[in-house]
Amino acid sequence: MPARIAVITDSSSCLPDLVAARWAIGVVQIQLNLGGHFDDENRFERGEVIDAMREGHVITTSPPDPGAFFWTYQEAAASGATAIVSIHISGRMSDTVRAAREAAQQVRIPVHVLDSRTTGMSLGFAAVSAARAAAAGADAGRVIEAAERRCFTSTEFIYVDTLEYLRRGGRIGAAQAMLGTAFSIKPLLTVKNGEVAPLARVPGTRRALAKMVDLAVKKSGGFRADIAVTRFGASDHELEIGRQIERRVPAMAESMVVEASTVIGAHLGPGALGITVSPVY
């Protein structure tokens, strides 16, 4: 019987439910604490979280309990998987990888836990690539290779209205240097070496978003690429950004507009927008 490799990720991947279901990707939920209510992030209404943030309520996040990984792995094994590739948010942003590795030690089939050193749709596209390889009959080594190639070549471009939410959540990383930026100057960020890092400072929202599109188009470099526009709360910008990228990236393989994971949004703040550029090989 050929090997069947199951692919698992976490909710910071921002994968739409239909995409995860199409590729049979298991998604373990990161935890959110809002006003003493502690639960899986998908159990919270996004609008409720955004309103609470704007009202100044403290919101914290936590990695999944190892038990959540254990039962997800057990379910994959019971469904016929002979090995699991479990790929997760950067270990410099979250202890999710640690929880996954703890659970992996208790499962009877091999579980390969990967630190993606990224998050968002860079992680999401990596999980999809891994699942495609698995569906084509690849062994665990090639599934891992497919995931790692996407992680290492994908790029996140992130716009935030303010760095305050990243500061509060302790996820500001190298972008700490941008604190104190004038209100009219908008920060653009990326993910580098597994943590949030500064990219540029641009005057005004529209110029910042235009700069982010320019950077994404340049990064695509004429290569065939999947591109995702990620939003935390609807705005007037994400659809136009998507249209601009479609016009300017003729080699685009797939494009989508997705909702940011609530956990990611809790650190970036309302109005955050991102573009993921992920080359296809």
Q: Using one digit for the tens of pLDDT, what is the confidence trace for 112-154?
A: 999 999 999 999 999 999 999 999 999 999 999 999 999 999 9
Residue 250 reports pLDDT greater than 90: no
Model confidence band, residue 20 (pLDDT cutoffs 50, 70, 90):
very high
Q: 182 falls in which pLDDT band (50, 70, 90)?
A: very low
3-state secondary structure the chain: CCCCEEEEEEHHHCCCHHHHHHCCEEEECCEEEECCEEEEHHHCCHHHHHHHHHCCCCEEEECCCHHHHHHHHHHHHHCCCCEEEEEECCCCCCCHHHHHHHHHCCCCCCEEEEECCCCHHHHHHHHHHHHHHHHCCCCHHHHHHHHHHHHHHCEEEEECCCCHHHHHHCCCHHHHHHCCCCCCEEEEEEEECCEEEEEEEEECHHHHHHHHHHHHHHHHCCCCEEEEEEECCCCCCHHHHHHHHHHHCCCEEEEEEEECCHHHHHHHCCCCEEEEEEECC
Quote the pLDDT of residue 169.
53
What is the model's pLDDT at position 135?
96
In this prediction, residue 237 carries a pLDDT of 86
76-109 per-position pLDDT tens digit: 999 999 999 999 999 999 999 999 999 999 999 9
What is the mean predicted confidence (pLDDT) over 42-49? 92
At 212 the pLDDT is 95
Q: In the predicted model, is pLDDT for residue 174 greater than 60?
A: no
State yes or no: pLDDT of 183 exceeds 60. no
pLDDT in tens, 224-246: 999 999 999 877 788 899 899 98
Percentage of the chain lying above the pLDDT 70 cut: 93
